[in-house]
Every structure is written in structure tokens, then in C-alpha cells.
Amino acid sequence: MSLVVKLKASNGRTAVIGGDFDDFLHGESDYAHRIGKVDVASLNHHGYWGSNTQEWISILDAKILLCPNKFSYSSLNKDPFQKDEEICSFNSIKKQLYKGTRIFSAGDGSDAGLDAVVIALDNELTNNIPNNFKHNFVGVYSNGNYYEKIISLVSGGMIAGSGSYQGERWRFSSGKWYYLNSDGLKQTGWIKYGGAWYYLSEDGAMKIGWVKEGNTWYYLGEDGAMMTGWVKDGDTWYFMNSNGAMRTGWIKSGGAWYYLGEDGSMATGWIKSGSAWYYMSISGDMRTGWVKDGDDWYFMNSNGSMRTGWVKSGGEWYYLNSDGSMRTDDLSEGNKIYRFNENGSMLAS
């Protein structure tokens, strides 16, 4: 067992410098109660199994943990004398990260270009740990010394510049939002949060706007939430199903029919569907009855399809040319000649 030193500043701030110290002989559990809560602590025994037990970590409750190793790691083997496999150093330190504790290793400091990690025992615990340095906290099993769990950190914390990992929630970094699961790992793909769906790219950044998955397009609002129903992008309207998928073709909404092109955009004006022509208003709804386009009048059936030939409307007969336009000049049909008023209604012979 090596020497363990506790330091106390005049303002009451405290630090503990650990060593090759573990709990196989109840050393940590004994001294933890003598030392009590501190502000800064170095991990014992380089993070090896048997050290930095749940009792030691929770009683010290340090705001900053320093690991005298190439990187920050601790054991996934259960603590000495414990039956529960979940009671281990890695999980105990992870709970501290939830509370806002920072963890940083000697190797992290070297990689960050620091000659030494310096922490002042002042009221703010002023230090030179960079806020934007990316590193990891690793869980290791003693049998084979292989990595089992890794929490990605930024200066001791997930994403947030404060360097603290605070559990499953959203984080904002460099102008982008990320979502971290309960293990502190960035999520990717679809997630459901607060009743809404969000899409996270391969690097974990929350997407907004259009997203294509497989052959299906989705639209994510400015807040990242998946949109359903009518969506306006620029000057163009689109319609998204209840599952968020972009619709194409005919849809009925609010009692009216609309047509969405192959790119999902809502059509206005003339469209051809199958062998029939339809006319969509400036608002996109399908028109029926008489429609004026430019100087010409057209008649649309109750199903929206454009009529040609003879049509009776309001007790009057009209004739619609092959292009659907209403006729006003004379019509020769068979042995008869038909004449029409300027409003298109047929004159009595």
C-alpha cells in the first residue's frame, strides 16, 4: 500500500493524491470515511481492478478526477467483496459523470499539448484542461485487458464545453445538436424524443430539412422534429404521411383533392393524370365545373376530368373543343350548323 495525501487550501478546497492503493484489504473503504468529500482526486492504482471502488468514488464525490495513465480508464470487474456485477469502478465513475464530474488523464494532457495538468484550489477550481479536447473514458476487464465500454468525452464531458457528462439528453456543440444515450454515446439514425421523431446523421448531428432513407423522403422542421401533413419548403408545398413519408400522386385533404408530382411538389394549373386533364387552383385544390384560364373557359366533370364535346350546364348547351376550350364561333356537325352566344351558350335554331 502506498502513501495517500490529502491537501486542503485556506479557502476550504481539498484534493487527494492517490497511489497504488486498493480495497482488497479494505484500504479504500477505511480511508474514504477518514478523508471525506474532496474537490479534486487522482485515481488510485492507475485505474486497475480493486481500486476506485464505489465506496471510495461516492464518498470523495470529487468535481475533477485525474487518471495517471495514457488514457482515462477503470475496471469493469466487480469491486472486491461485492456480489453484484454492476458494482464496479467504471459504473461508479460514470455516475459521477452524470453529476457533472470531469475526468482527464495524463495522456490526454500530453495529447492536448500540456506540459502538465494544473488545477488551482481556488473557488473556481481554475485549470488548464481544454474545453474542446476529444478523448474517451474506457471500461476494461482485467482478464485480457480488453475494452468493453467506451464513453466519448470532450474535456472530461460529453459534447458540452463544460466538460461534464450529464446523461441521456440533447447536447449542443459547434452549432449542431447531438443526442446522447444513457451510456453517453452519440446516437445515429432515427430516435423518438418527447413524442417526436428526429434523425441523426452518421456523425450524430441532428438533421433538418430533407432526409432520404431508402427510397423515401422525410422532412424535418427547424427544430429537427419530423413533420407530417402539409409542409412548405420555400415557395413549394408538400404532403407528408402520418409516418412522415413524402406523398406523391393524388391525395385528399380537408375534403379537397390535390396532386403531388414525382418530386412531391403540389401541382397548380393544368396536370395530366392517366389520359385525362385536370385543373388545380392556385391553392392546389382540384377544380370542378366551369374554370377560366386566360381568356378561355373550360368545364371539369365532378371527378375533376376535363370535358370535351357537348355539355349541358344551367339549362343551357355548350360545346367544348378537343382542347377543352369553350366554343363561341359556329360549329358544323353532320348536316347541321350550331351557333353560340358570346358567353358560349347555344343559340336556338
Out of 194, 220, 247, a domain closes at 247
- C-alpha–C-alpha distance, residues 43 and 7, integer Å: 15
Contact 291, 281 (CB under 8 A): no
Per-residue pLDDT at 160: 35
* Residue 31 burial (CB count, 10 A): 20
Beta strand pairing call for 189-193 and 256-260: unpaired
Q: Is residue 348 part of a domain?
A: no
Per-residue pLDDT at 49: 86
Per-residue pLDDT at 99: 77
Q: Of 103, 129, 132, which is closest to residue 114 (Cα–Cα)?
A: 129
CATH of the domain at 220: 2.10.270.10
Q: Is residue 344 part of a domain?
A: no
- C-alpha–C-alpha distance, residues 235 and 283, integer Å: 12
Beta strand pairing call for 134-140 and 72-75: parallel
Out of 247, 272, 299, a domain closes at 247
Per-residue pLDDT at 48: 81
Examine the domain organization and report whether 16 and 157 are in the same domain: yes
Q: What's the chain's length in residues?
A: 349
Q: What is the pLDDT of residues 294-335, one digit of tens each?
A: 999 999 999 999 999 999 999 999 999 999 999 998 998 888
Examine the domain organization and report whether 180 and 301 are in the same domain: no
Examine the domain organization and report whether 145 and 11 are in the same domain: yes
Examine the domain organization and report whether 63 and 184 are in the same domain: no
Per-residue pLDDT at 77: 87
Q: Is residue 290 part of a domain?
A: yes
Examine the domain organization and report whether 44 and 92 are in the same domain: yes
CA atoms in the 13 A half-sphere facing the CB of 6: 15
pTM: 0.52
Examine the domain organization and report whether 9 and 128 are in the same domain: yes
Out of 137, 164, 191, a domain closes at 164
Q: Is residue 347 part of a domain?
A: no
Per-residue pLDDT at 182: 62
Q: What is the CA radius of gyration of the chain?
A: 36
Per-residue pLDDT at 187: 86
Examine the domain organization and report whether 35 and 152 are in the same domain: yes
Per-residue pLDDT at 210: 98
What's the domain count of the chain? 3
Owning domain of residue 113: 5-164
Q: Would you give per-residue pLDDT tens digits along the chain (349 residues)?
A: 567 899 999 999 999 998 888 888 888 988 899 999 999 999 988 778 889 999 999 999 999 999 887 778 788 889 999 999 889 998 898 888 877 788 888 888 888 888 999 999 999 999 988 876 777 777 777 653 444 566 666 554 443 333 334 445 677 677 788 887 765 577 899 999 888 999 999 888 999 999 999 999 999 998 899 999 999 999 999 999 999 999 999 999 999 999 999 999 999 999 999 999 999 999 999 999 999 999 999 999 999 999 999 999 999 999 999 999 999 989 988 888 899 988 899 887 6
Examine the domain organization and report whether 160 and 25 are in the same domain: yes
